[in-house]
Chains A and B, each alone.
Chain A
Amino acid sequence: MSEPTVQAAADAALLDQQVDASRLQGASQWGLIWHKFRRHKLAVFSLVVVGFIYFVALFAEFLAPTDPGRFDPRYTYAPPQSIGLFVDGSFQPHVKGYSIELDQASFRRVFVVDPDVTIPIGLFVRGQSYRMWGLFETDLHFIGPLDPSQPFFLMGADRLGRDMLSRTIHGTRISMSIGLVGVGLSLVIGMILGGISGYYGGFADRAIQRVIEFIRSIPTIPLWLGLAAAMPREWPPLQVYFAILVILSLIGWTEIARVVRGRFLSLRGDDFVIAARLDGVSEYRLIMKHMMPSLYSHIIAAITLAIPNMILAETALSFLGLGLQPPIVSWGVLLQDTQNLRAITQAPWLFIPGICVVVAVLALNFLGDGVRDAADPYAK
């Protein structure tokens, strides 16, 4: 008699569609984000590039062959050397030396590569001493001539005979850190004001949004110029650096505030937030435990997309001579030297920091795109 019941039970079991047991079943939010991010090939490549740039920034002293301030009047505007690997059939990494000739037409000194002079170079060589991260004294450099007094200009020299490679590497540290720290500052302001704006709405929202619109309506370059010009000239370079950071963040926070507000607004009406509220969860816990985790990934994306703006802004200010001042080296400061015709005609290698800016900004933008797409792994 029990047979129909068994049949019905078996039929019902058929309907209870079991979920596929795949690797992603137990994955957490970050696991899913990583899984989705990896499919964005350009972003993964950009992640490697950005990682490399920050690596360079971190180990600038070690990677740079010389101190960025070291100058040698004998080698003004020396062209880049190329690395050779063999001397007379035996392995010996080297660069060729320079000899100076006088251009009869313009009466200028020009460098020509002297094939007879070989300057042996190597990895992990002893050179100028420096304090690594201000912690300990060392003179180890990643690459350089075996004899530190020999000329070594892989990316050429500037008008004072300073090594462009070393200067660009040190510039990386300043330019990339100004992006990161500046965004950090904007993030704090943006999260707080955007959060208030989106969560409470009403008057606070309207007031904050009007402020944001006002700030964004001011043309940025004149504003920066004005603020930068207001800085006392006698400030030490480090103080100028932080002042520039503050100036950039004062505008940068608006973008992040808008992202945060938008997410809060849409989350506020989501079922799971209402459900948490109906569980009797306190306001603080609701924001921190239920809403914030949905925001992290979006915030990371916003940060990645904001850093290039910071870098560009710093570069623009420094290029115009109103941002950072020598002896601090940033990409923008280096590009100041390209403001004349001679750089274009005779020393095009002075533009290399410009290429660095383009590469860094593009890589960060692609990375930001990838992160933004992966940020919500639950979206269809």
Chain B
Amino acid sequence: MPQTPMQSEPGAPVLRVENLSVEFPVHKGLVHAVKDVSFSIGRGETLCVVGESGSGKSVTARAILQLIAEPGRITNGRILLKDKDGAGETDIVALGNRGRAIREIRGRRIAMIFQEPMSSLSPVHTIGRQITETILLHEKVDKAEARRRAAALLDRVRIPNPEEALDRYSFEFSGGMRQRAMIAMALSCNPEILIADEPTTALDVTTQAEILALIRELQRDRGMAVLFITHDMGVVAQIADRVMVMFKGEKVEEADVFSLFEKPQQAYTRALLGSILKLERPAPRPPRPEAEKPIARISDLELHFPLNPGFMGRPTAYLKAINGVSLTINEGESVGVVGESGSGKTTLGRTLLRVYTPTSGKVDYWRGEGGVVDLASLSRREMKALYGEVRMIFQDPHASLNPRMTIYQIISEPLRTNTDMTERQMQGRVRDLLTRVGLPADISDRYPHAFSGGQRQRISIARAIAVRPRLIIADEPTSALDVSLRHQVLDLMRDLQAEYGLSYLFISHDIAVIRYFCDRVAVMKRGQIVEMGDVVQVCENPVHEYTRTLISAVPRPDPRLRLQMAG
């Protein structure tokens, strides 16, 4: 052992999983979602299960509570839960997925919290009712006592005014509050094991940091064993004692968190960590020229959405999605826009391309063939002439490619409308583009569903650079991708930047991606830019309070850093 575990020595295992296999019969075949996985968790220990989409990590967690969705089933293995008196063990697999015995375990001895706090709380019952119901179901107490306990729990997960919160509905809560309420519910019966299935993935990073701190603290107080499912290595580094890495249903590696980050044993783990650590420092960039030449200058841009169109169509209130933004993008430069959900960053990108028409303000754009135009006031037809050079890459590669068109049809669409190429020329161009973005050239007659997320995003990029791109608005191009694919896509975008002299407006919620990719960064909050500057300077010496919170909340993929945080 190169490192000694930082937390107290974990106790004897409370849960042992032996040779677990889960299969899903699909049309004419079987999908082996989990293959022969064994692990154990001790009292007071946090085991992180980490893996990319499709690795079987969630299925493993659900198997422990016998919550696998039909038609999946456990085909092999044992899940042994230590009995309360410590004498024997109960095999959860043998209990079946219905009946009294398994219900005694679910919620009472092993509790679970899910990724999406909105859909796991009922919107038609108050928070208090849902928590007291769980308590009444499992313990012999009266209603008043259950309510008292529920209030205490809400207080424990730091929901302000717990008595009042009991009588509110889940939709009145923010995402973070809902997740706190979920945790309170999970804790209501003092479980020995808490299974957390990506509990922070749907949350903003500042909220994520609070929830992680809460889980860590509760665990320390109660000595719970926590099985934490995540795809985020940063989160792993923050909270894990031990880590189990999964890939395609199999356990790749299991190790103490420090050893894993220090010395990964398996090639897959190495590659996974490598791709994450690569994003930890800025990519090498050529120095900016002395005299910057702007390509787009946004001045005092505003976009207001009417909130309640009145009876005669006269709104009385506005949502100020963009509230006076000024920003300059220079030629060959990547400008990042970072912010949490609802900050207006996506709307900003779309407004530049006139998906929305701005309420006021100017967007000066220096055209390729010379001349300056104001994107904010161009007519639809004049705008059309610019669609060949101002391009967009979307966040979700599944939604942004028409599933009913072939790859050739998708990529050739901008060529068809912006150039007068013949069909044969377009075919040649599409082949070149596919090769350029790192895909085989002979896939052009396939449909998007045949490709993985990363490959689809490459197709999106090929579409964006098809004509004569100058400015690309990239709206979270990597957030829907597995972490190992992110830097590959980013590197491709950087290569293309050097090749075509592209400028990027790079929108993301992920400060690591921005730091890796951009020259300058603008931090957005509630439709306004609160801080702007060189990316390294903003990341290392943030001036604005909000930027500081944002940056310190990002979990860094280095377990040694949490000592400093605790201290």
When chains A and B are docked, how far (Å) is the Cα of A238 from the Cα of B405? 44
- Pairwise interchain contact B353-A28, C-beta atoms closer than 8 A: no
Q: How far is the CA of A35 from the CA of B272 in the complex (A)?
A: 36
Known A-B contacts A14-B271, A15-B272, A279-B413; the reply to A25 vs B400 at CB < 8 A is no
Write out the residue numbers on chain A whose beta carbons fall within 8 Å of the beta carbon of B454. Answer: 16
Q: How far is the CA of A29 from the CA of B450 in the complex (A)?
A: 12
If A26-B446, A280-B388 touch, does A15 touch B452 (CB 8 Å cutoff)? no
Q: Report the bound CA distance from A177 to B484 in whole Å.
A: 58
In the complex, whether B414 has a CB less than 8 A from a CB of chain A is: yes
- In the complex, chain A residues whose CB is within 8 Å of the CB of B413: 276, 279, 281
B449 engages A378 (CB within 8 Å): yes
Cβ contact within 8 Å between A279 and B417: yes
Per-residue contact bits, chain B 50-62, to A (CB 8 Å; 1 contact, 0 not): 0010100000000
Does B160 belong to the interface (CB within 8 Å)?
no
**Which of B275, B388, B401, B450 is close to A15, meaning CB atoms less than 8 Å apart?**
B275
Residues of B within 8 A of A279 (CB): 387, 413-414, 417-418, 463
- Decide yes or no whether A337 CB sits under 8 A from chain B: no
Q: A272 contacts which of B388, B399, B414, B451 (Cβ < 8 Å)? A: B399
Interface-side segment among A4-12, A119-127, A222-230, A319-327: A4-12
- Nearest CB in chain B to that of A30: its residue: B404
Number of interface residues, chain A, beta carbon within 8 A:
38
Q: Could you tell me the distance in whole angstroms from the C-beta of A282 to the nearest C-beta in chain B?
A: 7
> Which residues of A have CB within 8 Å of B404?
29, 293-294
Residue in chain B with minimal CB distance to A291: B402
Name the residue of chain B whose CB is nearest to the CB of A296: B404
CB atoms of A17 and B452 under 8 A apart? yes
Residues A39 and B27 in contact, CB atoms below 8 Å apart? yes
Q: Which residues of A contact B399 (CB under 8 A)?
A: 270-272
- Indicate if the CB atoms of B353 and A15 lie closer than 8 Å: no
Instruction: Tell me if B85 is interfacial: C-beta within 8 Å of chain A.
Output: no
What CA separation (Å) do A121 and B271 show in the bound complex?
80
B368 at the interface (CB under 8 A from A): no
B392 part of interface (Cβ distance < 8 Å): yes
Closest partner residue, chain A, to B386 (CB atom): A280
Cβ of B280 < 8 Å from any Cβ of A?
no
Q: Does B496 contact A (CB under 8 A)?
A: no
Chain B residues, CB < 8 A from A18: 452
B417 A11 Cβ-Cβ under 8 A: no
Nearest A residue to B450 by beta-carbon distance?
Answer: A25
Judged by a CB distance under 8 angstroms, whether A102 is at the interface is no
Residues of B near A277 (CB, < 8 A) are 355
Is A275 an interface residue when CB atoms closer than 8 A count as contact?
Answer: yes
Contact between chains at B414 and A280 (CB < 8 Å): yes
Please determine whether B394 and A271 come into contact, CB atoms closer than 8 angstroms.
Answer: yes
Nearest CB on A from B466, distance (A): 8
Interface residues on B, range: 35 or more
Contacts A19-B450, A39-B27, A271-B396 given; does A278 touch B353 at CB 8 Å = yes
Is A159 in contact with chain B by the CB < 8 A criterion? no
* Cα of A294 to Cα of B463 in the assembled complex, Å: 21
Closest residue on chain A to residue B475 by CB atoms: A271
Residue of A17, A39, A275, A280 touching B394 (CB-CB under 8 A):
A275
Min Cβ gap B287→A in Å is 27
* List of B residues within 8 angstroms of A132 by Cβ: none
A85 is an interface residue with CB less than 8 A from chain B:
no
Residues A29 and B403 in contact, CB atoms below 8 Å apart: yes
Bound form: Cα–Cα A24–B449 in Å: 9
The answer, among A28, A276, A280, A289, for a CB contact under 8 Å with B447, is A28
Q: Known interface pairs A27-B447, A271-B396, A276-B413. Does A11 touch B270 (Cβ–Cβ under 8 Å)?
A: yes
**A 277-317 binary contact with B (CB < 8 Å = 1; else 0):** 11111100100011001100000000000000000000000
Chain B contacts with A in 380-433, Cβ cutoff 8 A: 384, 387-388, 391-392, 394-396, 399-405, 413-414, 417-418
Residues B403 and A378 in contact, CB atoms below 8 Å apart: yes
Residues of B48-79 whose CB lies within 8 A of A: 52, 54
CB contacts (< 8 Å) of A39 on chain B: these are 27
What CA separation (Å) do A12 and B491 show in the bound complex?
13
**Do B402 and A272 touch (CB < 8 A)?**
yes
Complex Cα–Cα for A10 and B272 (A): 12
Determine whether B268 belongs to the interface, using a CB cutoff of 8 Å to chain A.
Answer: yes
Whether B447 lies near A12 (C-beta < 8 A) is no
Closest Cβ of chain B: how far from A4's Cβ, in Å? 11
B214: Cβ under 8 A from any A Cβ = no
Query: A19 and B451: CB pair below 8 A?
Result: yes
User: Out of A28, A278, A294, which one reaches B387, CB within 8 Å?
Assistant: A278
Name 10 extra pairs, CB < 8 A, besides A272-B400, A272-B403. A7-B267, A12-B275, A29-B403, A271-B395, A272-B402, A274-B350, A275-B402, A279-B418, A280-B417, A290-B402
9 residue pairs of the A-B complex, CB under 8 angstroms, read: A11-B271, A11-B274, A18-B452, A26-B450, A276-B402, A277-B355, A278-B355, A281-B413, A293-B404
Q: What residues make up the interface of A, taking CB atoms closer than 8 Å to B? A: 7-8, 10-12, 14-19, 24-29, 32, 35, 39, 270-272, 274-282, 285, 289-290, 293-294, 378
B interface residue numbers (CB < 8 A to A)? 27, 52, 54, 267-268, 270-272, 274-275, 350, 353, 355, 384, 387-388, 391-392, 394-396, 399-405, 413-414, 417-418, 445-447, 449-452, 454-455, 463, 484-485, 488
Q: Which 10 A-B pairs have the closest CB atoms?
A: A11-B271, A280-B387, A271-B400, A15-B484, A279-B414, A271-B399, A293-B404, A272-B402, A280-B417, A25-B450
